[in-house]
Amino acid sequence: MLKARSDVGAFNLQADRGRFQAPAHSPPESPETSWPRHWNAPAMALLEKATDFRRSATRTMSEKWSTFSMPGAFRRAREAMSGPAKMPHDPLEDQRAELVELDALISILGTCASTLSTSVNMLAAAPKPLFDPLSRFYSQGMPGSAAIQRLCVQMDSFAAHVQEHDAEIEALQTKLRGLSERNKTVHQSFSSRDAAWTSQDHYTKKLEKLRDQIAKSGTSSALVDKLNRNEEKKRTSQQEFATRTSETGRQVNEALSNRWQEIGQVVAELCQYYTVVFQAAGTLRQELQQVCAELTKPSTTQALARMGREIASQAQETANTFVDSLRARCSKWNEGEGAAGPLALAHQYRSSRSSLSSSQEALTYDGGEIIEGRPVAVGYPNGSSWQATSSQGWPVPASTWPNEEARLKSNNAFDHTYLVTTTPHLR
């Protein structure tokens, strides 16, 4: 029996020609016939069995290969790494985009509230380390000690006022975290819905391939079983996708229905916190202005010293102006040709008379006159006058000055205005 099977295995089958070739160790052909009759029948039976076995094995392997698919564990691992695919033309795509925008705004508001709370607390706590050193430096009775004490009290009061309202900003942050968690749940619902749609799409495509395979190569029990199993899985995935879609739609509508009222309330509470902080800062500002005025107010000694410096500066300026004026006048007297002198201290110009053809100059002086370019002193007790000569210099000797009583009489008797003729033919 084993030998017969080995002989059958040695045949080179050629089904298309409808014949077989005997192995090399087969019996030699007889002259009457090429195959012995008693050997030919069993060999043909074995050949038919071998052919049927080969066809069956080939068909089984072909069916298995055609129905082979990636295991579900591999598919789920790939989805875990890359994420489930999103449904094309999703009817909830607009709501999903609005939810992403709302979630981003909530995140920004949370960051703003946290930063604001931290900044205000740092502002209130910043001057506290200065209280004790300043109090020791400005001890009792020192200049500015009262102002420093008021400063420490006001700063401490501001910090206490801010800490009283820390609960409000913390409640605001808690509310924002709650909104963020709610949106996170809705995002997870969207992800579960995407996974259900991915599973449904997978079995839909798989069933299409199986039906195409059956249409091309014919049906078999293995293909039919696999087709039935995948149809059941598709129905399950469809039900799961429908349930997820309904739940996700309900959650996203609830999250988006009151979004303007929720965000508006959060912004209003944020503004209220700003109002509380700035109100306390306004009161602190007035107190700090008074403290600043007290700290910068000079002492009595400093005020007197500054006043003395101002008076001395003004006196120095007045003296400098007088000296400069006197020097200018003396310079003019030295440069003149006798037309003016030390007794002519004030000048007043008047219009010329109609009867005179030349210009005339009016000059006013208390107790003296200028005649023909030479000064004459008047007001002596005997009513005489003193005329300066070229040999006598200026100023006039003190022994020749008129007394005050005679000068006043002279001032009352004359109008103190004298005419100086500048043209030679009128002298």
pLDDT, one tens digit per residue, over 160-199 is 988 888 999 999 999 999 999 999 999 999 999 999 998 8
Residue with tokens 């995002």: 187
Q: What is the mean pLDDT of residues 145-150?
A: 87
Assign 71 a pLDDT band (cuts: 50, 70, 90): low
Taking the model in full, what pTM does it have?
A: 0.50
Contacts of 186 (CB under 8 A, 6+ apart): 99, 248, 251, 252, 255
pLDDT of residue 21 exceeding 70, the answer is no
- Alpha-carbon distance 127 to 348, whole Å? 71
Q: What share of the chain is helix, strand, coil (3-state, %, to 5)?
A: 70, 5, 25
pLDDT in the model for residue 76? 60
Q: How confident is the model at residue 46 (pLDDT cuts 50, 70, 90)?
A: confident
88 or 63, higher pLDDT: 88
Residue pair 206/70 in contact by the 8 Å Cβ criterion:
no
Residue 407: CA atoms inside 13 Å, Cβ hemisphere, count? 11
Residue closest to 47 by CA, chosen among 78, 7, 85, 74: 7
The CA–CA distances, whole Å, from 150 to 153, 157, 287 equal: 5, 10, 8
Q: Is the pLDDT of residue 263 over 60?
A: yes
Residue 277 above 70 pLDDT? yes
Q: Lay out the sheet containing 374-377: strands in order across.
A: 368-371, 374-377, 386-387
pLDDT at 400: 53
The per-residue b/e assignment along 232-247, b for 16 or more CB within 10 angstroms, e otherwise, is ebbeebbebbeebbee
d(CA 306, CA 404): 42
As a whole number, the mean pLDDT across the chain is 72
Identify whether the C-beta of residue 361 lies closer than 8 Å to the C-beta of residue 349: yes
- For residue 19, list its beta bridge partners: 14
Residues 311-352 have pLDDT tens digits of 888 888 888 888 888 888 777 777 664 444 444 444 443 444
